[in-house]
A and B are shown apart, each in its own frame.
Chain A
Amino acid sequence: MAPHVIIRTRMGTIAGIAALALIGIGLALPAIAPRALIQDLFTILTLLTLAQLWNLLAGYGGLVSVGQQAFVGIGAYAMFAGVILLGLDPVLAIPLGGIAALALAIPTAFFAFRLQGAYFAIGTWVIAEVTRLLVAQWKALGGGTGTSLPREATSDIIGVESIRALFGVREAAARDILAYWLALALAALTIAAIYWLLRNRLGLALAAVRDNTEAAKSVGVDARRIKWAVFLIAAFMTGLVGALIYVQTARISPDAAFSVIDWTAYVIFIVVIGGIGRIEGPILGVIVFYILQSTLADYGAWYLLTLGLIAIAVMLFAPRGLWGLLSDKTGLHLFPVQRRLEGIDLKGGK
C-alpha cells in the first residue's frame, strides 16, 4: 500500500503544477488566439463547469438530476433582470444568478427529495418545466419570446475598455475575452472547490451516504443534510454559470435558457462518456464531446443520435467511462480522491 500513497501524492502534485501552468497559459491565450477559438473555449469551459457540478450531484451525491437547466435558466434570467430592471452592469449582475438559483433550489429540493430514487430525476425535470413556464409569463423580460440585453448595458461592461486597450481588439471581441476569462476562473474555482470538498469531510460523508444511507446514519452522517448541502452548492454554481453564459450570448428566451438538451443532456453525456464519479471524467469528456461536435455538427440530428448511443454503449461496456478505462490501464490519478474514500475507516472518522 505504501508505494501507492507516494505515487499518488507525487502524481497529484505534478497535476497541481500542471493545472496552474494551464491556467496561466489560458489567461494569456487571448493575446494570440483568434476570436473563434476564444468563443469555443468559452463554451467548453462553461460546459466543463456544468459537468463538474452535475458529476458532484450524481457521481458523488447519487442525486441524478435531469433538471439542472432550471438553475442555468433562472440564473440567466436573474442576471437579465438585474441588468434590465435594476440597471446593473451585466458582469456585476452575475452573482444574482447564483443567488436566484440558490433560492429556487430550496423549494426544488423540498419537493424532489420527497421522491425516491429514480423518480427524483423526473421530479427535478418537472420543477424545471414549471420554472420555464412561469418565467415565460414574465412580460418585463420578454415573456415567451425572450429579449436581448440593451445596447447601453453591453457597450460599457466593466473591464471591456481595458481589454480593448490591452489586446487592441474590437469591443465585441473584448467582451468575448472577458467572458472567457470569467469562464476560466469559474471552471478552475469549481474544480478546485470540488476537489477540496471531496478531500475533506464532505467527501467522506458523501461516500458513506452514496454507498449506504443506513450505514451512514449509524456513523453519525446525516444523509439528508449532506444531500441538501450538495444540491444547494451545485445549484448556486450552476446559476452563476447560467448567468455568465447569457452575459456572453446577450439574448435570452425561456426555451433556450431552460433547454434540457443544451444544459442537461450534453452535460450528462460529457460526464458519462468521460467517466462518472471522478473529477478527471468531465475534463476528458468535454474534450471528446468537443471533437465529436466539431466533426459531426453538420449532421444535425445524427449528432445527438450518436451521442445518445455512445452514452448507452459506455454505460454497458465501460460504466466508469473513458477515464475509467484509461486509469485502469495506466493507474493514473490526477485528482486522488477516490482511493482516500475507499480506504477510510468510517468508524474512525469524525
Chain B
Amino acid sequence: MIWIDTLVQGILLGGLYALFAAGLSLVFGIMRLVNLAHGDMIIFAAFAILLITGSLGLNPFLAALIAAPLMFALGWALQRFVLNHVLGKDILPPLLVTFGLSVALQNGMLEAFSADSQRIPAGPLESASVNLGIVTVGWMPLLTFATAIAVIVGLNQIFYRTALGRAFRATSDDPVTASLMGIAPKGIFAIATGLAMVVVTIAALYLGMRANFDPSIGPARLIYAFEAVIIGGLGSLWGTLAGGIIIGVAQTMGAAINPEWQILSGHIAFLIVLLIRPRGLFPRAVD
C-alpha cells in the first residue's frame, strides 16, 4: 500500500515539475533560447505573489492573478530590451546573459528578501486532503496536477487554434519567411517570453504554497524543469508532463528508500532516459 501511495505522490509531484518546465519548453520551442534564469524567475514570481498577499491581504490565487500580468510585462521587456539583442546563430551570448541574470536575480532577491525561508499562506487548503479509496492525497498536490494539465491544454489551444499560435509556430520554423508574412519575429519572441512568465507565475504559486522557498533554490528548479523537458522530448508539452512525472516518481521512490536519495534518484532517472532514449520519450517528428 505504501508503494501505491508513494507512486501517487510522485505522479502528483510531476505536475509541479511540468509547471516548472512548460515555460522553459515554450521559449526554447519558439526561439531556441535556454533561459538559465528560469528557476530564479519562478522564485522571483513566488516572492511577488507573497508580497501581494501580504500587502493587499489577498488570497494567493487572486494575488497570482495580479502578479501574472506584471510578470508578463517583465518577460516581454526582458526579451525586447535584452535577449533579442543577443539572439543569433551563436548560442553563447544568450546563455551567458541569462546566466548573469540568474546570479544577479538570486543575489538581488537575497538583498531584498533575506535568506529566510518563506511560504505563501494558503489557509485550510494547505492540509486538506481527500480519500480516494486506496490512497489519501492532499488537495494541494491534486490541484497542482490539475493545473498542470489545464496549463498544457491551454498552451496547446493557443498554439494550434489561434492566429498567435500560428505565428509562434511559423516564427519557430523560419523567422525570415515569417517576417515576409508581416510578422515581426522579435515581437513574437517578446510575447512568447511574456507568456512563459505567466506560466512561471502559475508554477510559482504552487511552489510557494506547497513548500518553503528562499532566494537560493532557483537553480535546482531549473534543473528539474530541464530534465522534464529533455525526458519528454523537445517541443512536446505532454511529453514534458510525462518527464515531470518520471522525475517526481523517481524522487518520491528514492526518498521512500532513503531520504538522502530523493534528489539523486530524480537525476539518475534522467540520466537513464538520456542513455536509452537520447531524443526523449516523445521527440517531435519535424526538426
Note whether A and B form a binding pair: yes
Residues in chain A within 8 A of chain B (CB atoms): 58, 62, 64, 66, 111, 114-115, 117-119, 121-123, 125-126, 129-130, 133-134, 136-137, 144, 260-261, 265, 268-269, 272, 276, 300-305, 307-312, 315-316, 319
Q: Say yes or no: B275 contacts A111, CB within 8 Å.
A: yes
Bound Cα distance from A150 to B66, whole angstroms: 57
Residues of chain A with a CB closer than 8 A to B97's CB: 311-312, 315-316
Check A304/B267 contact, CB under 8 A, given A119-B230, A121-B36, A312-B97. no
B65 interface contact, C-beta 8 A: no
A134 touches B104 (CB 8 A): no
How far, in Å, is A210 (CB) from chain B's closest CB?
A: 9
24 A–B pairs (Cβ distance < 8 Å), ordered by A: A114-B278, A115-B274, A118-B33, A118-B94, A118-B95, A122-B223, A126-B270, A126-B271, A129-B223, A130-B267, A130-B268, A134-B264, A144-B260, A261-B103, A272-B96, A301-B108, A305-B111, A307-B103, A308-B101, A312-B100, A316-B82, A316-B86, A319-B86, A319-B93
* Interchain nearest-CB distance for A63 vs B (Å): 10
Chain B residues closer than 8 Å to A301, beta-carbon distance:
107-108, 110-111
Partner of B95, one of A64, A136, A316: A64
Q: Determine the chain B residues whose CB is within 8 A of the CB of A134 once the complex forms.
A: 264
B85 surroundings in chain A (CB, below 8 A): 316
- B134 contacts partner chain A, Cβ-Cβ < 8 Å: no
Given A122-B226, A304-B107, A309-B100, also A117-B275 (CB < 8 A): no
User: In whole angstroms, what is the CA distance A149 to B105 when docked?
Assistant: 36
Instruction: Check if A126 sits within 8 Å of B227, measured CB to CB.
Output: yes
B27 CB to nearest A CB, Å? 11
Knowing A269-B100, A308-B102, A312-B100 touch, does A121 contact B267 (C-beta < 8 A)? no
Q: Give the docked Cα–Cα distance between A111 and B277 (Å).
A: 11
The interface centre, meaning the residue of B95, B219, B271 with most chain A CB atoms within 10 A of its CB, is: B95
Give the residue of A114, A269, A319 whose beta carbon is less than 8 angstroms from that of B274.
A114
Interface SS majority for chain B: helix
Give the tally of cross-chain contacts (CB within 8 A): 125
A308 touches B34 (CB 8 A): no
**Chain A residues near B34 (CB, 8 Å)?**
117-119, 121-122
Residues facing A in B14-53 (CB within 8 A) are 28, 32-34, 36
> CA separation between A3 and B111, bound complex, in Å?
54
Residue of A nearest to B93 (CB): A315
Does A64 contact B271, Cβ atoms closer than 8 Å? no
**Is the Cβ of B267 less than 8 Å from the Cβ of A126?**
yes
Are B107 and A58 in contact (CB-based, < 8 A)?
no
